[in-house]
Amino acid sequence: MERDEESSGPMMEVCTNGGGEETSNRRPIISGEPLDIEAYATLYKGRTKIMRLLFIASHCGGNQTMQLEALRMAYDEIKKGENTQLFRDVVNRINGRLGDKYNMDSAWCESVDRRAEQKKGRLENELSSYRTNLIKESIRMGHNDFGDFYYACGLLNEAFKNYVRTRDYCTTAKHIIHMCMNAILVSIEMGQFTHVSSYVNKAEQNHETLDPIVAAKLRCASGLAHLELKKYKLAARKFLDVSPELGNSYNEVIAPQDVATYGGLCALASFDRSELKAFIPLRFFSLVAKVIDNINFRDFLELVPEVRELINDFYSSRYASCLEYLGSLRANLLLDIHLHDHVDTLYDQIRKKALIQYTLPFVSVDLSRMADAFKTSVSGLEKELEALITDNQIQARIDSHNKILYARHADQRNATFQKVLQMGNEFDRDVRSMMLRANLLKHEYHARAGRNH
């Protein structure tokens, strides 16, 4: 796939404000166009690059070219490392479709395994000698090296155990943070996000102030953990707090585009209007004099202009356009390893929020106009609104005859009287039942006592 021709289109501006040497990373990767796999892959390094490529290969549906492209790149990347298990996997999946260069290379496998054995032996010797010498720092580094070694081989459980073992030999705050970052990395790869949260907490508990980049990394990790656990609001808050100094420094886990995308979508799905406003870029509101936007996040949003546009559309009530952007982004978002399971839920929540927000300012709403705005039929819209009314998210009622939605404001006074009467009756019933039960217990007690005498 040729990079340069692909990306030109009216919706995508290449933003070049600052950081000229990083232009390649500032191109919109997450967009409505079919994913440019090479460009996507350059955003990451290390194991996550491989895992993401494999994920794309298994989730791109029937698209053979995309699948083979992803597998090819995965193969190349794996061969640069030391993980023979992954190598075998990818060769199976390629299944000879990419020609001779991308077949099983048993020689390579054997040599890598042999080297691994040797390295393991050496590390074990070193570690046992450090142990006998009881030098804390060396033992820590020994375990750390083991952790790195197992991680490279793909034995994540062992890697995790070794990293965690360094805890007992950490002497400075830096050591602890180092251990936490490693534990977090392995936990993310293993998909165990509860560990991620606990190690983020451990790292943040440090009394010394953290290096800003490390702090940003921790927030990303925390955000990811919340995302996986479906706590979208918390995830959004964490992502929004990530300082732009992060840049590419955490691309063994996450790219800055991802921060923008995840943060933006989670915020849309879970924030209310005032919270949302807090991070919309200033220049889209000429009327607003005060600076209340989040300068940090603006930089991130520049990386994913479509996400930025759709957030703006949502805030300005241009729902049709917003939903259109969402629709076009969907295919690519489904290829993202972390977002895949959440796309549908987030989209559903965003749509619901849009519906609710649309009806909020009005006393009555013409359903056919609303159906046009949301690109759906009147009967479909009626069903959606019915569900929202049942969930008490919209206070309104539908005039099905004339196809109008009328806002329904509860009469507080009547509602209060009703509630009071109801509570009076409930109190009555509950107290009488209680007294009867107390009586029965007393009787049983007396009967027992009577028998015992």
Partner 1 sequence: GLCSSEISKTIGGMSSTENLITSIQGLSASSGDLSALHRILKGAEETLRADSDLELSTLEELDASKHSLGYLYLLDVLTCGPMSNEKALDVVLLISRFISSCDAEQIRIASDKSTASAKRTTTVLIDAAAAADAETCGNQTNRTIISWGDDDECYCFGLVVVSLCKRFKDRVLELEDPLRGVAPLLSAVRKVQVSSKRLTALHPDCLQLCLLAKCYKAGFSILSDDILEVDQPRDFYLYCYYGGMICIGQKKFQKALELLYNVVTAPMHSVNAIALEAYKKYILVTLIHSGQFSVSLPKCASTAAQRHLKTWSLPYTEVGNCYNEGKISELQAVVVAHSSDFEKDNNLGLVKQAVSSLYKRNILRLTQKYLTLSLQDIANMVQLANAKEAEMHVLQMIQDGQIHALINQKDGMVRFLEDPEQYKTSEMIEVMDSVIQRTIGLSKNLIAMDESLSCDPLYLGKVGRERQRYDFGEDFDTVPQKFSM
Q: Within 134-153, where are the H helices?
A: 136-153
Helix axes 232-240, 212-228, angle to 10 degrees: 160
Residue closer to partner 1 (CB basis): 108 or 406? 406
In whole angstroms, the minimum distance from the beta carbon of 373 to partner 1 comes to: 21
Contact 299, 282 (CB under 8 A): no
In angstroms, the Cα distances linking 335 to 44, 168, 254, 309 are 15, 40, 14, 21
Residue closer to partner 1 (CB basis): 85 or 433? 433
Q: Which of 218, 188, 198, 194 is nearest to 337 (CA)?
A: 188
Q: Which stretch binds partner 1 (CB under 8 A): 54-62, 220-228, 249-257, 445-453?
A: 445-453
d(CA 378, CA 106): 62
Residue closer to partner 1 (CB basis): 80 or 401? 401
401 in contact with partner 1 (CB under 8 A): yes
Q: Within 191-291, where are the H helices?
A: 193-204, 212-228, 232-240, 256-270, 273-277
Strands 396-399 and 404-407: antiparallel
In whole angstroms, the minimum distance from the beta carbon of 431 to partner 1 comes to: 5
442 in contact with partner 1 (CB under 8 A): yes
Q: Which stretch binds partner 1 (CB under 8 A): 214-222, 289-297, 303-311, 386-394?
A: 386-394
In whole angstroms, the minimum distance from the beta carbon of 364 to partner 1 comes to: 10
Residue closer to partner 1 (CB basis): 10 or 450? 450
d(CA 43, CA 314): 28
Residue closer to partner 1 (CB basis): 97 or 443? 443
Largest CA distance in the chain: 100
Q: Which stretch binds partner 1 (CB under 8 A): 104-112, 237-245, 320-328, 439-447?
A: 439-447
441 in contact with partner 1 (CB under 8 A): yes
Neighbours of 287 (CB within 10 A): 4
Interacting positions 404-433 with partner 1 (CB under 8 A): 406, 411, 413-414, 417-418, 420-421, 424-425, 427-429, 431-433
Residue in 18, 62, 99, 450 binding partner 1, rule: CB under 8 A: 450
In whole angstroms, the minimum distance from the beta carbon of 345 to partner 1 comes to: 23
In whole angstroms, the minimum distance from the beta carbon of 284 to partner 1 comes to: 37
292 in contact with partner 1 (CB under 8 A): no
- The set of residues, in sequence order, having a beta carbon less than 8 Å from that of 146 and lying 6+ positions away, is 123, 127, 158, 159, 162
Residue in 386, 393, 412, 419 binding partner 1, rule: CB under 8 A: 386
Residue closer to partner 1 (CB basis): 108 or 417? 417
- The set of residues, in sequence order, having a beta carbon less than 8 Å from that of 304 and lying 6+ positions away, is 28, 29, 30, 31, 257, 260, 261, 264
In whole angstroms, the minimum distance from the beta carbon of 148 to partner 1 comes to: 52
Joined together, the tokens standing for residue 50 give 């491989």
Residue in 14, 397, 412, 419 binding partner 1, rule: CB under 8 A: 397
d(CA 5, CA 166): 50
Q: What is the DSSP string of 373-416?
A: HTTS-HHHHHHHHHHHHHTTSS-EEEETTTTEEEE----HHHHH
Residue closer to partner 1 (CB basis): 245 or 444? 444
Residue closer to partner 1 (CB basis): 89 or 382? 382
Q: Which stretch binds partner 1 (CB under 8 A): 37-45, 73-81, 343-351, 395-403?
A: 395-403
Joined together, the tokens standing for residue 165 give 């073992």
Residue closer to partner 1 (CB basis): 194 or 379? 379
Residue in 101, 207, 283, 451 binding partner 1, rule: CB under 8 A: 451
Interacting positions 57-116 with partner 1 (CB under 8 A): none
452 in contact with partner 1 (CB under 8 A): no
Secondary structure (3-state) at 219: helix
Binding mask 336-375 for partner 1 (x = CB under 8 A): ----------------------------------------
In angstroms, the Cα distances linking 195 to 160, 180, 221, 289, 425 are 10, 10, 11, 44, 50
Contact 259, 243 (CB under 8 A): no
Size of site (CB under 8 A) for partner 1: 42
In whole angstroms, the minimum distance from the beta carbon of 358 to partner 1 comes to: 17
Residue closer to partner 1 (CB basis): 278 or 423? 423
Instruction: List interacting residues with partner 1 (CB under 8 A).
Output: 386, 389-390, 397-402, 406, 411, 413-414, 417-418, 420-421, 424-425, 427-429, 431-447, 449-451
